[in-house]
Amino acid sequence: MLAVHLVSFFFSKLQEDPTKKVDRFLHAMRLQDDQLIDISKRFLAEMKKGLSAESTAAAAVKMLPTHVRSTPDGSEKGQFVALDLGGAKFKVLRVKVREDVGIRKGGVEMEEKTYPIPKELHVGRAGELFDHVSESLKDFLHEKNISPKKKHPLAFTFSFPCEHPSLDQGLLLSWSKNYKVRGLQGKDVVQSLRQAIDRTGDMDVEVLAMVNDTVATMMTCGFDDQCCEVGIIIGTGTNACYMEELRHIDLVQGDEGRMCVNTEWGAFGEDGALDDFITEFDRDVDAASLNPGKQIFEKMVSGMYLGELVRLVVLKMAKLGLLFDGHVSDALRTKGKITTADVAAMEEYRNGLKNTNEILTHLHLSPSPDDCIAVQHVSTIVSFRSSNLVAAGLAAILTRIRQNRNLRGLRITVGVDGTVYKIHPQYPKRLHKVVRRLLPDCQVRFVLSESGSSKGAALVAAVAQRLTSQRRKVDEALSLFTLNQEQLQLVKSKMREGLEVGLKSKGCTIKMLPSFVYHTPDGTERGKYLALDLGGTNFRAMLVRFKRQKSRLYHKIYTIPLEIMQGTGEELFDHLAQCVCDFLDYMGLKKARLPAGFTFSFPCQQSGIDTGTLVSWTKGFKATDCEGQDVVSMLREAIKRRNEFDLDIVALVNDTVGTMMSCAYEDPQCEVGMIAGTGSNLCYMEELKNIEKLEQSGGTPQTDKQTLEEEKDEAAVEAEKSDIETEKSKMCINTEWGSLGNDRCLEDIITPYDAEVDIHSVNPGKQRFEKLTSGMYLGEIVRQVLLDLTRRGLLFKGHVTETLKTPGIFETKYLSQIESDRLALLQVRSILQQLGLRGTCDDSIIVKEVCGVVSRRAAQLCGAGMAAVVDKIRENRGLDRLSITVGVDGALYKLHPHFSQVLKETVSVMAPQCDVTFLPSEEGSGKGAALIAAMVRQKQEM
């Protein structure tokens, strides 16, 4: 009694302003921005906890995967039957979705009928509830003259917490909203529905999807606004869902794409996370509920409880003599006598006080004007706290989306449904204002779901149908790039056949060009050497110093302009001479006549170590008057024309040979070199006796035979000096394997996309293997696939941009970026934007898959070719098992995240008797050219 008098006295001076005494009484419900930010951070931590496999069991916020992987894009179509079960009534609907009108009103037509659910079914048996649902469905089909004989796709909105193993399965976790049906918790709701439909009979329906009402709301709003990736319900209950990155959802396999997560945020606070914000009135509401200790956040926010919170506050204030002169009516003491609809009525802008007076009068109270003002203010504080708490939760969700996508700001739409949001006159405005205040860097648009969750369920089914159809067609296109063991064996055998034929005679598909390099380095190389490297759009000049099995390298890179690449031969070699002059000047060596090795990465027919006739240009070079000419002589003549320096060019080397020599300096077992970059090629140490075309009469000029004999003698001397009695004379062969398939032997694995790339290349019908495996062409193959899929409406909504039609625009470097494991989709979206393509998350996944199958095939083909070579070396040496190292260079091997691993796995499978180690070349083929120059100089000095 003393407490009552003290409180009455405390507020006596505030009677002139009834709102102030309410503010003082409910100060714990008046949340400031710093408190909301704190709550938002706590909810964000709960979200992470719920997504993690390690902590989800203990998490209050369950973060349930829904298996909804895409929002609508406007191309959905079809006719669906929908069921919506989530409250005192349920609805059956026929939903027609029309294609290509999703961005305009009228894209979805609906007919519906509402069926009551008797109260006894709310707490009855599961079979009884679903029999009622099934019989109502049959009644609807009959009433709408929908044929029961034809199979009808069905979408099911079920607004209770469920765990989804798949889109058409849902295990009930718990009941809410005064439902306590027996025999369903922990079981598959969809299976129970199917069994009921079977019992009812005379219906042929296929349940495609079961979704929560929150997810359905997001999908409904997403059909008209494709920026909608969040759904919120603020009605009888409350919940939120959003599109989460799949890589963060531990409970679902897969890393790519997004999936809608049903947060079930009503349970936030069950673990005590909101204890310091819970008032005595919240505790009273919880204690009197059907599920004490559960759904704490929902009991502070949702329409089922707001009216009761207001009643309890008014009752307490009346008991303390702060309202109605201390009078308390029996009605005011009765649970549920103030509803959320009453709360909304009290806060109407014009008639709020009048409505408050009427509501209180109906409770058998005699309110004064100040009482009405005070009770209205109680209602305002309770509902304002609700909107503030929702704003804090939504801010956490939007913050997570922004962080997931590594964005400073975010532009997004939130779909909203629920009676509180719809009927409360102030609620939406308050919610929007607080969200924008908490997240000033985010542009958040709120869209009210006009058609409810039933339409959304049908759209989930429509999206599922679209994705299934799209997936099938995309898989058919990409299956062309999948190579089985039989096809890989064919490539291996064709490569082996080409190697053998090429060793016997000139003019074969695989050229098998002699390099006149007879052995790998032995570590005795000494001195300073110049190395020149031309193999693509860049030219490298290098100074290499060898001393005691160590080397130091100095280099400078020069660009080859396109007009030089495709100009005259004289212009090209004059440009190279100018670059060499600049480098010597830079190094202070202009007056020194250094021995030089020239790496020339194009097919050359060599008749000696320092001569080579260009067979044909590749890699986009088309300089005139070069093919059929000795490229060493052309460089010497260009140096002579410049008349500023002199070089002793002692060796002409292919980049593949240079790579092998460079790696052999580090690993004596290295006897194979491979380039997987702009071009594709391989060299290896072949038994000299097997190179029959060198000894054919008329096969090489007499001078070549003489050179060969001299080199054979030198090789013999070296063998004796090395005391290796069993060593056989070998020569490095530059296979030029890129021309495999020029004779159409690979037609079985050539796709229409490869054919398009070949037709529009500078050398149609040539370098067919290289066009399947090298960096110069992989990006263009991907572009051709993307173009085809887009024209077929499977990508980018069928919108073909001029950029996508531009050859060469999809650079091969994008494949490496796109296939990186973690930031893949962000990279894809960035690249697509550069190409002028506004792709969805699903588009990004398909683009990544296209890149994956094209690059994987390239690695497998190189692996099959490599298997042919190492098996040949093993058989040459009569070994049961071969251990050998392959020196590798090229951006595709070094930079692509998966190419090297797929290559190794393929070689292991295709050549099981060979142990192959791959050694990346750290200093490129230039060092190899310098090594060969050193080896030649050593021989000359002997």
* C-alpha span between 490 and 60 (Å, rounded): 57
Taking CB atoms within 8 Å and a gap of at least 24, the contacts of 586-591 are: 586/556, 587/543, 587/554, 589/543, 590/644, 590/645, 591/645
Element (H, E) at 605: strand 604-608
Angle (CA) 663-664-670 rounded to 5° is 95
The active-site residue out of 655, 758, 842, 843 is: 655
Is the CB of residue 638 less than 8 Å from the CB of residue 576?
Answer: yes
Active site residue 601: yes
DSSP state of 246: G
231 alpha carbon, distance to own chain's centre: 23
Active site annotation includes 540: yes
Query: Can you say whether the dihedral through the CA atoms of 170, 176, 177, 183 is positive or negative?
Result: positive
Residues 6+ apart with CB under 8 A from 138: 148, 200, 202, 203
Q: How far apart are CA 505 and CA 98, in angstroms?
A: 66
Which letter does DSSP use for residue 259 in this model? E
Among 69, 194, 400, 540, the one annotated catalytic: 540
- Tokens 């009979």 belong to 201
Residue 127, token pair as written in the block: 């079979």
| First CA to last CA distance, the chain | 119
CA distance 375 to 353: 9
Helix (H) or strand (E) holding 93: strand 89-97
Residues near 821 by Cβ (< 8 Å), separated by ≥ 6? 255, 897
- The beta-strand segments (E) located in 137-288 are 152-158, 162-163, 171-172, 205-211, 228-234, 238-245, 258-262
> What residue type is assigned to position 521 of the chain?
P
Question: What is the 3-state composition of the chain as percent helix, strand, coil, each rounded to the nearest 5?
Answer: 50, 20, 35
Q: What is the dihedral of CA 256, 262, 268, 273, to 10 degrees?
A: 0
Long-range contacts of 495-499 (CB under 8 A, 24+ apart): 495/737, 495/740, 495/864, 495/865, 495/868, 495/869, 496/868, 496/871, 496/872, 498/737, 498/740, 499/735, 499/868, 499/869, 499/872
**Torsions phi, psi for 110 (to 5 deg):** -135, 140
Mapped onto helix, strand or coil, the DSSP state of residue 24 is: helix
CB–CB of 160/179 below 8 Å?
yes
Catalytic site includes residue 493? no
Q: Which residue has the tokens 């593949």?
A: 656
Write down the catalytic residue from 601, 662, 739, 774: 601
What residue has token string 């973690």?
Answer: 822
Residues whose CB is less than 8 angstroms from the CB of residue 540 and which lie 6 or more positions away in sequence, other chains included: 531, 532, 533, 555, 556, 557, 558, 924, 926
CA distance 94 to 83: 9
Distance CA 635, CA 223 (A): 66
CB atoms within 10 A of CB 798: 13
- Which residues, listed in sequence order, are joined to residue 448 by a DSSP beta bridge? 416
Residues known to be catalytic: 540, 601, 655
